[in-house]
Each structure stands twice: as structure tokens, then as C-alpha cells.
């Protein structure tokens, strides 16, 4: 009887452990895919920063689009 009870406890612990390992594996895979996506975003941001540091045309484009800047000889005509 004691051996049967011990066996039942071992089986129960084993089943619970496998379930927890499965959940942990799924969480790890999800987090790993998030990390991969964020690494890709970081790489694209690094290349954008490098362009903004070195390419005058990229600087001008960013200033025009993000900061609404214009050259001194340009006239802004708002259109509604």
C-alpha cells in the first residue's frame, strides 16, 4: 500500500512538472520572438541614427518631416 501511494505521488509530481515545463517553454518561445522583433527594430534605429549623423540629405529630410522646418528662402503656404 505504501509503495502504491509513493508511486501515485511520484506520477502526480511528474505530471505537474511536465505541465509547468510545457508552460515555461511556451513563455520562453513567446519572449524569444519578442526579443528577436525588438532586435530588428533596434538595428533599423541604429542605421537611421547613423544616417542622421552622416548624411546631410537624411538630416534635411528628417528636419522637414519631423520638425516642420523649411529653408530660409522657402515660403510656407498652408493648405486646408
User: Where exactly are the structural domains of the chain?
Assistant: 2-64
For residue range 23-77, list pLDDT tens digits in order: 999 999 999 999 999 999 999 999 999 999 999 999 999 998 888 888 888 888 8
pTM for this predicted structure:
0.60
Question: b or e along 7-18 (b: 16 or more beta carbons within 10 Å of the residue's beta carbon)?
Answer: eeeeeeeeeeee
C-alpha to C-alpha distance for 67 and 23, rounded to whole angstroms = 47
Residue 22 C-alpha cell reads as: 510545457
Query: Does the pLDDT of residue 4 top 90, yes or no?
Result: no
Amino acid at each position: 500500500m505504501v509503495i502504491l501511494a509513493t508511486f501515485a505521488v511520484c506520477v502526480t509530481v511528474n505530471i505537474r512538472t511536465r505541465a509547468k515545463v510545457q508552460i515555461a517553454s511556451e513563455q520562453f518561445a513567446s519572449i524569444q520572438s519578442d526579443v528577436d522583433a525588438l532586435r530588428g527594430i533596434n538595428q533599423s534605429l541604429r542605421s537611421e541614427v547613423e544616417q542622421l549623423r552622416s548624411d546631410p540629405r537624411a538630416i534635411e529630410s528628417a528636419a522637414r518631416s519631423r520638425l516642420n522646418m523649411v529653408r530660409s528662402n522657402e515660403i510656407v503656404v498652408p493648405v486646408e
